[in-house]
Amino acid sequence: MTDLISFHIYRTEPIRMKGEQFTVYFSKRTDGEEYALFAVNDSNSKSWRAFYTPEVASDFEQSTGQKLEKEVYKVLRSDIESGII
């Protein structure tokens, strides 16, 4: 049997790109083992997701001074702009 993994959404952001409205969900697993960004358009016909661990986020911030969630968000925007999703 598969375990149910729950995420706590700590922020949502609407974005409008290429004539479509998307909602981005910034979330963290309730057990603290993973972060995730989920995005879905208003018609639920397009979606995108990315996952990373707290350790990777911490290492990224220490080496670059930037929050990893901001960089992942940039990748999402780029994927929408280029038509990947």
pLDDT confidence of residue 66:
93
> Which sequence spans correspond to the domains of the chain?
7-81
Those residues whose C-beta lies under 8 Å from the C-beta of residue 42, and which sit 6 or more positions away, are 20, 21, 22, 23
Residue type for 80, please?
I
Residue type for 83, please?
G
User: What percentage of the chain's residues is helix, strand, coil (to nearest 5)?
Assistant: 30, 40, 30
3-state secondary structure of 81: helix
pLDDT confidence of residue 8:
94
DSSP E strand boundaries for 1-85: 7-17, 20-29, 35-41, 47-52
pLDDT tens profile 43-85: 999 999 999 999 999 999 999 999 999 999 999 989 988 888 8
pLDDT confidence of residue 83:
85
- Considering the entire predicted model, what is its pTM? 0.81
